[in-house]
Amino acid sequence: MALRPWSPIPIVDNGEPLLPLPPDLLRLEPHPYVAVGAPYGEAASPFQLRQGVIERLLAAQAQLQRRHPQWRLAVFDAWRPLAVQEHMVRHAIRCECARRGIDPAQSGTAIDAVVAEVGRFWAPPSADPLTPPPHSTGAAVDLTLADADGQTLGMGSEIDAIGAVSEPDFFAGRAAALPPGPDRDQALRWAGHRDALRQAMEAVGFAQHPNEWWHFSHGDQLWAWRLGHPSAHYGRWGTA
């Protein structure tokens, strides 16, 4: 997996602590990466973020509820240790190989294509402090929308789905290409949900991953790259 376009951006960590998400932010549990054996360790929780990121998440939820009072943010994943990143990259490659009917033990162009496609969505588990995976910094969060009962809204694809369907504007483009009818109406609903999430997050300073409707960050290298800032505020948290 190649380095990202944001990798050269310098990091000047501001030292903010990594804190648990407050009760006002819905957590989607049981956590899916724990279920597939991701090695968090006894003291680690995925539902942690830097202090300033949590404050902005609460502000984003307030923004969302000004237009949609019955909706709330639902956090799928937040802080991710390097060991978890490495585990989940391998897991994603195995799953994509299985979906394509490819033996993951082989080599060649088929495996290279899987690794390249997975690499559009999963950052390399780099141990270099100059190129931390976004989630290892405590600045990135994967999330969706839920209703007042905590039921998630339809977004057209699952979080972590590999492929073009996960790109933020996928269903807006599909709706524009479809004739009037139920399929177009469904595409418009999913596009509307994705846009509502993006609008709430961007209104308070988050940047969206270009390939993932669910991934937003504030203060990491991806954020700096997308918004034109000269440096990032958050590097990898601790030695995890």
Catalytic machinery residues: 212
* CA distances, 13 to each of 149, 234, 237 (Å): 38, 5, 9
**Residues 200/60, Cβ–Cβ less than 8 Å:** yes
- Which pairing describes strands 26-27 and 72-77: parallel, antiparallel, or unpaired? parallel
Backbone angles phi, psi at 207, to 5 degrees: -115, 140
Strand partners, 15: none
Angle 235-130-229 from CA coordinates, rounded to 5°: 65
